[in-house]
Amino acid sequence: MDRTLILVKPDAFKRGLTGEIIARFERKGLRLVALEQRTLDEAIARQHYAEHEGKPFFGELVEFITSGPLVALVLEGQDAVKAARQVIGATNPLEAATGSIRGDFAIEVGQNMVHGSDSPESAEREAKLFFPNL
Ligand code: RTP
Ligand code: MG
Residues in the chain: 134
Can you give the pLDDT at residue 47? 98
Ligand 1 touching residue 78 (CB < 6 A): no
115 is a catalytic site residue:
yes
CB 70 within 8 A of CB 7: yes
Over residues 34-72, the pLDDT tens digits come to 999 999 999 999 999 999 999 999 999 999 999 999 999
Binding residues for ATP: 9, 57, 85, 91, 102, 112
**Cβ-based neighbours of 39, under 8 Å, separated by 6 or more:** 66, 68, 69, 70
Q: What is the CATH number of the domain that holds 90?
A: 3.30.70.141
Q: How many domains does the chain have?
A: 1
pLDDT band at 104 (very low <50, low <70, confident <90, very high): very high
| Spatial CA neighbour of 123 closest among 4, 2, 8 | 4
**Structural domain containing residue 83:** 2-130
Distance between Cα 93 and ligand 2 center (Å): 14
Write the ipTM: 0.96
List residues bridging with 114 in a β-sheet.
Answer: 8
Give the Å distance between the CA of 90 and the centre of ligand 1.
9
